Amino acid sequence: MFTKDDILRFETLETPFYFYNLEILEQTLKIITEVSSRYNYHVHYAFKANTNDHVLKLIQEYGLGADCVSGNEVKKALDYSFSKEKVVFAGVGKSDKEINLALDHDIFSFNCESIQELEVINELAEVKQKTARIALRINPNVMANTHRYITTGLEENKFGISQWELEAVVEKLEKLNNLELIGLHFHIGSQITDLTAFKSLCIRVNEIQEWFQNRNIPLKHINVGGGLGVDYHNPDENTIPDFETFFKIFDDFLELMPHQELHFELGRSVVAQCGALISKVLYIKNGVKTDFAILDAGMTELLRPALYQAYHKIESLTSKAKEQQKYDVVGPICESSDCFGKAIEIPKIQRGDLLAIRSAGAYGEVMALNYNLRDDVKAYYK
Ligand SMILES: *Cc1c(COP(=O)(O)O)cnc(C)c1O
């Protein structure tokens, strides 16, 4: 990920900062587009994972669509020349303003998450004398075997329409004349590494498809969301997620009707491994069990460890020490959860050494905060 020259350059830059290796992003995009086009699958990039300018530009160049979860993401997708025919808009709480914006731009599809939302989109579309294309986001009640905060496809989660509501939804849709039902949408969670969860999803989608088929309701598009995980422990060995196996699962187990088109919404698996957070050691402080390495980056730059105990590999870039030592690697923010890792074993470090917090390209820079009146975090590229 880093050459000697990269590290020499880092030593001249003010820390902390994000570093994006756009070559890695490009290799990842090449594989995604190559494998998905083999099956004629559509891939939308999940904007919420990373909306850095350089990152978006490259993703747009590879022709991916945009999966948005806010009006501002829709706007940004259009500003960055993502084709409006490839913009989908999901989210349990779309505001009227956001819906109106998406209607004005004639996006490809609203992924709708409740009956009331259908009514509101219909109403707003009627005012504009438009027909909104919608897909029903159905909660398939499939276990994603991931952290409970990033599980979305269980009935206890707030996302999607439950299967027991479908009868009422279909009845309702008959009365909503400014909506056109174009398909179904699913998204079961994020950082899914046990790929059998996707097989379970396929089987559930087949059942749900049958339900619609029995009622003669045509569905042109099936969108199975995202969620493919990355290897946070071995970012150098597994830089590019296994897209071959991922897409093949859907080819093997999902029963598409003739002329049905399959869509994906990938976020983390596209961008996680191309990014790192580079930080300087401010202080080493003796602790009871392990010493503390206090960094100039904290939860304000990378929230995932504090938010859901996420693991990120931490590497020393500049230490010349031969001996290894264990550190609790923490940030400067006044919160005990501001900790990147406990008892992390790395070569002995001292004040001024640079550390890299790896696999930070997804849900990193986008979640940066100014809490404690922190500076905005900067980014550099190669
Ligand atoms: C977040 C999200 C995604 C992307 O998830 P990843 O795990 O980053 O691939 C896809 N679809 C929807 C609806 C989402 O909310």
More confident residue, 333 or 155: 333
Mean pLDDT of 277-289: 95
Determine the atom of ligand 1 nearest the C-alpha atom of 49.
8
Domain 4-17+273-381 has CATH 1.10.150.120: no
Name which of 222, 211, 139 is nearest 182 in CA terms.
Answer: 222
- Contacts (Cβ under 8 Å, ≥6 apart) of 24: 1, 239, 240, 273, 274
Ligand 1 lined by 187 (C-beta under 6 Å):
yes
The two structure tokens encoding residue 18: 């994000």
Q: Kindly give the distance from the C-alpha atom of residue 175 to the centroid of ligand 1, in angstroms, as a whole number.
A: 31
Mean pLDDT of 67-96: 97
Which of 44, 48, 195 has most ligand 1 atoms within 8 Å of CB, for mutation? 48
Residue 156 φ then ψ, to 5°: -75, -10
Give this prediction's pTM.
0.96
Domain locations along the chain: 4-17+273-381, 23-271
**CA 149/CA 303 separation, integer angstroms:** 14
Name which of 336, 282, 283, 277 is nearest 301 in CA terms.
Answer: 277
Ligand 1 lined by 358 (C-beta under 6 Å):
no
Write out pLDDT tens, residues 176-225.
999 999 999 999 999 999 999 999 999 999 999 999 999 999 999 999 99
C-alpha pair distances (Å), 262 with each of 89, 193, 248, 301: 16, 21, 13, 36
Q: Which amino acid is at 148?
A: R
Residue 126 CA from chain centroid, whole number: 33
Q: Kindly give the distance from the C-alpha atom of residue 7 to the centroid of ligand 1, in angstroms, as a whole number.
A: 33
Residue 121 CA from chain centroid, whole number: 25
Determine the atom of ligand 1 nearest the C-alpha atom of 226.
9
Q: Which run of H or of E encompasses 106?
A: none
Q: Residue 153 pLDDT > 80, yes or no?
A: no
Ligand 1 lined by 227 (C-beta under 6 Å):
yes
Q: Kindly give the distance from the C-alpha atom of residue 81 to the centroid of ligand 1, in angstroms, as a whole number.
A: 21
If you write DSSP's letter for every residue of 131-168 in order, what string do you get?
-EEEEEEEE------S-GGGB-SSTTSSSSEEGGGHHH
Is the peptide bond prior to 16 cis by the omega test (within 30 degrees of 0)?
yes
State in words which class domain 23-271 has.
Answer: alpha beta
Write out pLDDT tens, residues 9-25.
999 999 999 999 999 99
Determine the atom of ligand 1 nearest the C-alpha atom of 265.
10
Q: Residue 87 pLDDT > 70, yes or no?
A: yes
Mean pLDDT of 85-109: 97
The predicted pLDDT at position 303 comes to 98
